[in-house]
Structure 1
Amino acid sequence: MASLLLVFFCTSLHAEKQKITISLQDIEIHEVMKMLSQQQRMNIVLAEGVAGKVSINLYDMDLDDAIHSISWAAGFAVEKRNGNYFIVERGEVGKYSDSGITEIRSFKVQYTKLSEVESILKKHLSSYGKITALTDRKMLVVEDLPSFLEKIERLLAAIDTEPKQILIEAKVLEVTLSDRDSFGVDWTKFFTSQGGLGSFGTQGLSNPGSPGLLFQFVGPNLELALDALKERGRLRTLSAPKLLAMEGNTAEAVVGTRLGYRVTTTINLVTSESIEFLETGVILKVTPSVDQQGRILLDIHPEVSDGSVSDDGIPSKTTTQLSTRMLVPDGQTVFLGGLIKRNTSESREGVPILGDLPVLGAVFSNRSKSLVSTEIVVLITPKIVDFRQIEWLDKKLERASKDVEMLTMDELRAAKDINEVLDGNKPAEETASSANNGMWLLNQ
């Protein structure tokens, strides 16, 4: 169908009071608004996405009403500000202020990755908005309509929240197994349903072929069992780190050795040598996060390895490890066991002096090999701490390094009680009865 455009104007002292007669058939709306803008010397701005054809017949109508009618017939709306007309989507009506088209604000991002925040906020800008990231300053500069800037500010406050800090108290133990428990210690007899000792299962173990347990516990039963094993010389502490990590970040403790060996590489008949290292020992990686109920989600990866480099420079390594994820109440201890490691040990017995003689020494000595089985046990206690507790813990750990004093979870709870007293949320008398270990702080 051929397009037809007929326009008649009757001049008046006020442009918006001018009368207009117009007949439109399948005319692009941007062409109509362009013609009106040029003839009437007025500003008409079309928002992004405003397009389409319009057919309408108007007779002797005020120019202001005509612009509204044409826009509405095309499926859009009009916002008028400071004498200017803005043709917008109907859903954006009322989102424009009289203070200007756009404003510019800067927002400081403190905790969350700048790129992640930028990606989220871009989805909530208007068609006029744009965002610029200042990476070095961790700042976002946003230009948009005032109502959208307020929305961006609310979103940023919800996204960029202060992360929680988690203190992770861990122990990696090695239990020497006897012939009776060569397949692992039967830990279940130390954990019963009495006393709220939690639950246990076999999920999360990296080696499903070996016996394994994974459960949470409270109470003294396990500690008594470990003390008994230690007294018998069957328990050895491989590592006992205390780590402080922000939620979502991985805390790593490494206690071990690095064994160097030569590596020869030949490329295009050119031979070069380099030194590489075989890392062995105890490695514990823990990544904590906190849910809305205050429970702690732990990604745990302990690894215990032994290795050697032969006289020929060939490295060898044996590793016992597991990876698991679990949800733990704040302050609760998690037990992971059942990782069996078997090593062959060689011993030599003989008559003093005579057994060391060359050639003849073999007559007066005896060599034997035995299979030694050990089980790796990991205990992890996560605890959410605030910044005041961190300052208290720093002093406590400083004293512990001098006095070889261990930090207990009871003292952590005492620190929390003390913070509640300082905030006025808990009477000091209640704190004295429930956490005597921490009362000395109130008296200093």
Structure 2
Amino acid sequence: DVFNYVLRLNDLEANRVGRTIFVARRLPNSAKSLIVRNIRINQVSVNSALNFLVALGAETAVSRERLVTSVNAVPIAQLEGAQQSAITQTQTTTEDRVEIQRVDFVDSEPLLRGLLVAGDERTNSLTLVGTPRQIEVAIAQLVQLDVRRRQVAVNVKVIDIDLAALDRFSSSFSFGVDDTRFINQGGIGILNFGSRSPATTIPPLTAPIQVDSGNLGTNVDAATGSFNFVRSFFAQLQAAVTNGSGKILTDPTVVVQEGQIAEVTLAEEVVTNFEFESTASGGVTTSNVTVETTPAGLTLSIQVDRIDDNGFVSLSVAPSITSPTATVGVEVAGNTNTITLLSIRSLSSGQIRLRDGQTLVLSGIIQDSDRTNITKVPILGDIPLLGALFRSTERLNERREVIVLLTPQIIDDSDRATYGYSYTPSREAQQFLQQNR
């Protein structure tokens, strides 16, 4: 031990061969016990592994193909008195070059100084040349570096809730006294004197004034339809309540690797615009109509940033729902074409951190509208309490909301895990699979 301490304090290299010990400031390779190990890495690239070993003090070399561009100037003979010129020719070729990397540290002593590492990008392997201790340290560090990226199965439920509540209340009644009739239907009052309704057409007149037959104006149909005059009293109350519901737009389970992005798209193309271009040349006009389409449906993007050792997953989701709302006719080149107006609802969650198996509810994409239509008989409809018999009230409340349920489940890719991923189909999928056996 004392001899080893002296060698270390004086920064000397030593190697024992049999009963002989070689000591020097720097031993030649023939006096060292050098070994060669070949390692194939699976997860990281050769370039990343070489840079990692260089940071620990090793010296690396790798052969790569590089593009080499050469420019040649060919002179051109000119007439006497003319300026001399040349034609340049550019040629690009590929050649193999060996790149050597080495870092000279200032204050620290590198651990793997003297280790030679050669990389092969084709086989993604490394060749280590050095002492047994250096090889042991380098392999131990490469094992920690060449770990598999974790994967997570992310289940995303996108629920579109359409809560359409409709409350309607109206009353209708009619009665008659002699030749006077009164009708109230849904807040519209009709008072008629006489047993006949007013005429809407005029008969043709004869000389001395000649007038063709026609209308006295636009004939507007009554809200109550045909008049049915009765002398007895009839009354009718109408009330209606309508409620909406929600539906699941998509329920995918996507396996995403750490640091990767997965995207699910369920959409169809709809026409949203027409472009008309007219070109006149030589008295001839050429027209060109371009149809622009936009995907309408669901687009879901999932990005997994990190899966840590504590069972937490850092990810972000960005669902976007595009749905047609109405169609509009536009005139293009003398023809009427129909385009579709789209409604877009999107959400970007940003980076969130969830525990393995934890479900997160994301909501907030809300579209709310409340409309009230009141039809009433003037003066009579404003009477307290009794005025409800002379008016019709319709309240329409529409609330559309998109809710995203997010559940990540980390996949066990360790050596103790079974090969393949277990898949548990839903009840509907299981019944379908059993029927098609």
Report the TM-score range of the alignment, normalised by the length of the smaller protein. Answer: 0.3 to 0.5
Q: Give the structure with the larger helix fraction.
A: 1
Q: Give the structure with the larger strand fraction.
A: 2
Larger radius of gyration: 2
